[in-house]
Amino acid sequence: MSAPDGLNSPLARSDSPIKDSITVNDQSRRVRPGPGRPTLSNEELLDKALDLFLEKGFERTTIDAITAAAGVAKRTVYLRYGDKTALFKATLQRAIEEWIIPVERLRAAETDDLEDTLLKVGEILLTNLLTPAGLRLLRITNAESGRMPEIGAYTYQHGTEPTVAYLADLFRRRIPPPFDSADAEEAAIGFLYLVVSGPPTMTAWGLVLDSAAIDRHTRYCVRLFLHGLLPRELGGDSLFRSPRAAQAVPAEALQTENRRLKKLLLDSMLQVAALKERQES
């Protein structure tokens, strides 16, 4: 796929204009059904089409199958969208716009403690990705974005990009020097890779993770991420609670914490392996 699961996925709402290549023609919404045909809203048609595209993939889904499932004439579909490719893009556009999280919701989760803030933000993004709608959208965009790069570009522009911009701004506001604000966007992308990407990827592969395993993953990865931002001579907690100067932490304490985090990661990996083994048996 063109980007890691969970990263090349819609995450937060953007107010930027929709790309011409993936925008539904507004005129299509005013097409009247032919005589004797039941009225079917544009939204209902797109929902039926998305179900079929997910089940069969783009190539194996036909206009005939879509019209049969939706109970509309082929002429109606062609008048609204022109061809199957335009219809497919419209289905994804609708799904993304209805599902993505407003950045304002992420901002509202902020607290005085940066670690707590990132835990809340990570939980919001993970919960959204792990819903049936989120996983469905994740699978189909990753499956088809190689064939239609504009789909990957659209999901990044309207989903991942606003989330990255929000996280980068958060880091610039909340992490004092020696953190280099020029690295804020890279840090934001790293957060999405490390904290958000893993459980949706494993779930898309068929592994079932319980809420306790997801919570352990999130907490471990948030702490790993925050400690990774720090020079070795600085401590963690004092740097991220309100904007106060960092205090030195003894090397022995850092080593103890590092060993604890490594053990937590190993335990999580063993649990994932055990879940996979049970599923395969």
Answer yes or no: is pLDDT of 61 > 60: yes
What proportion of the chain, given as a percentage, has pLDDT over 90? 29
Sketch out the chain's domains with CATH numbers: 16-97 (1.10.10.60), 101-280 (1.10.357.10)
pLDDT of 118-169, one tens digit each? 999 999 999 988 888 788 878 887 778 787 888 778 778 877 889 999 999 9
Statement: residue 57 has pLDDT above 70: yes
Integer CA distances (angstroms), 237 to 91, 124, 183, 261, in order? 45, 23, 21, 15
Distance CA 133, CA 194 (A): 22
Mean local confidence (pLDDT), 200-226: 87
Q: What is the mean pLDDT of residues 25-37?
A: 43
For residue 190, CA distances in Å to 46, 225, 276 come to 34, 8, 26
Q: 248 or 78: whose pLDDT is higher?
A: 78
CB-based contacts of 112: which residues, under 8 Å, 6+ apart? Answer: 241, 242
* Residues 226-265: tens digit of each pLDDT: 887 765 444 444 445 544 434 444 556 656 666 666 666 6
